[in-house]
């Protein structure tokens, strides 16, 4: 499948066509950087579909997301509006269930995935001991010198996943029954614990980078303008 060439079509891709699905949860108070997060995923050749879970987004943003999903074959929108108390674990589990991909990429809406990062996560994931998950390196934008220094870095074992950016095979995700309900430590520590207990491997791929975006830009207005521009293409 080549979703980049098929944008604008309303045809829904079949499961056999989707290798990797990215899952993003949009909730009340989500950062304005969501538009940049989605742009980074929709322009990445390694991402076949983006599943957005509306778990309490503002009304105007929900409307814009519906328009985006209706226009693009590589975007799926799942609404949890009827579950106002749905926590992050529930949202991500629902997104994973709706996704078609054999690989699941979970991305925080504040993270802009850098070019090549998804492909590097995939390469590390294929070599990891199952059930496995591979996280990316998320932080502020790096200098060119720092990026060159990390270019040849290999995946290294870690004790726990960070939830900002990580990849897991669908089979492995289902084998450990996805995310537990959010507790004080969040949904990712429980998943890390169960993967480790099953004899799997948790890795960090330092050259699979995501940039953490925090600066507000007028959330709803900015997103609506961006989505309208996408739909007008």
125-168 tens-digit pLDDT: 999 999 999 999 998 876 444 554 555 578 999 999 888 999 99
Give kind and range of the element (H or E) at residue 57.
none
Arithmetic mean of pLDDT over the chain: 83
For the chain, what are the domain ranges? Answer: 14-232
Residue 4 vs residue 173, higher pLDDT: 173
- Please give the model's pTM, rounded to 2 decimal places: 0.84
By CB atoms closer than 10 A (0-12, 13-18, 19+), residue 157 is exposed
Q: Say if domain 14-232 classifies as CATH 3.40.109.10.
A: no
Residue 11 vs residue 164, higher pLDDT: 164
Q: How far is residue 16's CA from residue 88's CA, in Å, rounded to a whole number?
A: 28
């Amino acid at each position: 499948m080549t979703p980049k060439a098929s944008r604008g079509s309303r045809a829904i891709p079949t499961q056999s066509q989707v290798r990797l699905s990215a899952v993003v949860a949009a909730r009340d108070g989500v950062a304005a950087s969501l538009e940049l997060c989605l742009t980074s995923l929709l322009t990445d050749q390694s991402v076949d579909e983006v599943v957005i879970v509306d778990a309490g987004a503002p009304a105007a943003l929900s409307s814009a997301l519906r328009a985006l999903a209706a226009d693009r074959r590589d975007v799926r929108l799942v609404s949890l509006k009827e579950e106002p108390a749905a926590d992050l674990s529930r949202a991500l589990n629902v997104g994973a269930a709706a996704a078609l991909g054999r690989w699941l990429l979970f991305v925080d809406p504040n993270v802009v995935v850098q070019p090549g990062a998804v492909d590097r996560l995939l390469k590390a994931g294929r070599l990891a001991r199952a059930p496995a998950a591979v996280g990316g390196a998320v932080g502020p934008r790096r200098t060119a010198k720092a990026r060159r220094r990390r270019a040849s870095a290999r995946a290294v074992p870690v004790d726990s996943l960070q939830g900002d950016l990580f990849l897991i095979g669908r089979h492995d995700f289902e084998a450990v029954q996805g995310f537990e309900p959010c507790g004080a430590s969040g949904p990712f520590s429980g998943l890390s614990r169960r993967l480790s207990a099953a004899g799997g491997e948790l890795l960090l791929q330092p050259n699979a980078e995501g940039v953490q975006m925090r600066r507000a830009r007028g959330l709803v207005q900015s997103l609506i303008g961006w989505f309208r521009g996408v739909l007008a293409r």
